Amino acid sequence: MLIISEFRKDITWIYQFYLPLKRRLIIIVLLSIVVALLSSVIPYTFIRIIDGIESSLSMRYIGVSILILLGLSLLNFIFSVRNTNYRALTNLELEWYFRQNIFARLIKLDQTFYDKFRLGDLVTRLTDDVGYKLSWFACSGVFRAWESLLKILFSLVAMCYINPYLSLIAIIPLPIQIVIFSKSRNILDKRFKHLQQVISRVNETIENCFSGIRIIQAYCMEHRQAEKFASVASERVDAEISAEKAHIFIHSLYHYFWQISQILVLLTGGWLVINGKLTIGEFVAFDYYIGYLVWPMFDISGLLVGYRRASVSIKRLRELDEFTSLIQSPEKSEKPEKVTGHLVFRDVTFRRE
């Protein structure tokens, strides 16, 4: 339940930034359908071509099939390049909106906020967190995965059309992949979060040292700062390695598990070919589909891993966004007609938190 509620909060937070880009995002969603459809039809043409060659059909028949392949690829090129450009522009604009929106809020917050958050940490959140980890995820991560999901779906439909039995065998690794990811989610979460915290600490150390460099040099304490930096840098190396180990393992496992499908297709598809239940063209198309689906599968795993990474960044940014300033401007204020400079402090008491 907690996970769902956190996910909902993350999505709600991102959604406000999607609103100004609504029209373009709809175009991306629609273009993704066209691209996925075209990409999934292309391997299907191999059946005609290979079976035509295998059965020594006329060159005209094979030529037409090859021209269909070329035409589909050209259409795919046109739509896909347009869609990728839209996504790239949206990534950049989202990064701009995220940073701008948070900065506009931070600049108005009172000193209690700056007592709580250090400068190095704030700069990290507004650059490292907002950058690739979040902005790329918010558009390319999500919409590429959408395109990939459609590609998988359409390809599965095409594969079922060729041979439903072989399709079932080919997707055996899919549930295992889902289990792998759901089991590894917490590990990734924890490690990415720790890494972001350590990066902030490194930036803070750099920022503090060079802001006070005159006094550090005056007291000959450069070596102490170097030791302090070496210590946080080592902490960072440990955190980076730990996060990368988990990331590489899960990513590789995900990637190679899907390739098991290729072996299953070779074994089962081969058996069907030997028994005359599948043509070589259909077998090649199946093999091509499986090989071709590696990248969409990668994108889906990228989305899942990317979401864990982005989720950590979203939480760090939401923390800034949700900070309530102790000093609030009244919702409605009366503007004095004339400023006289008459200033009164009445029974004012103050203590620092």
Nearer residue to other proteins within complex by CB, 65 or 167 = 65
> Would you tell me how many other CB atoms lie within 10 Å of the CB of residue 206?
15
Nearer residue to other proteins within complex by CB, 189 or 207 = 207
Nearer residue to other proteins within complex by CB, 4 or 104 = 104
What is the C-alpha separation between 57 and 261, in angstroms, rounded?
31
CA-based nearest residue to 139, from 34, 35, 24, 247 = 24
Nearer residue to other proteins within complex by CB, 214 or 346 = 214
- From residue 115, how far is each of 112, 182, 328, 352 by CA, in Å? 5, 38, 17, 10
Q: Min. distance of Cβ 2 from other proteins in angstroms?
A: 31
Q: Is residue 219 a contact partner of residue 277, using CB atoms and an 8 Å limit?
A: no
Nearer residue to other proteins within complex by CB, 99 or 309 = 99
C-alpha R_g of the chain: 28
Q: Min. distance of Cβ 343 from other proteins in angstroms?
A: 15
Q: Min. distance of Cβ 139 from other proteins in angstroms?
A: 12
Structure tokens at 309: 């990474």
Supply the DSSP string of 16-56, one letter for each residue: HHHGGGHHHHHHHHHHHHHHHHHHHHGGGHHHHHHHHHHTT
Q: Min. distance of Cβ 40 from other proteins in angstroms?
A: 15
Q: Min. distance of Cβ 124 from other proteins in angstroms?
A: 9
Nearer residue to other proteins within complex by CB, 291 or 318 = 291
Q: Min. distance of Cβ 351 from other proteins in angstroms?
A: 11
In single-letter form, the type of residue at position 4 comes to I
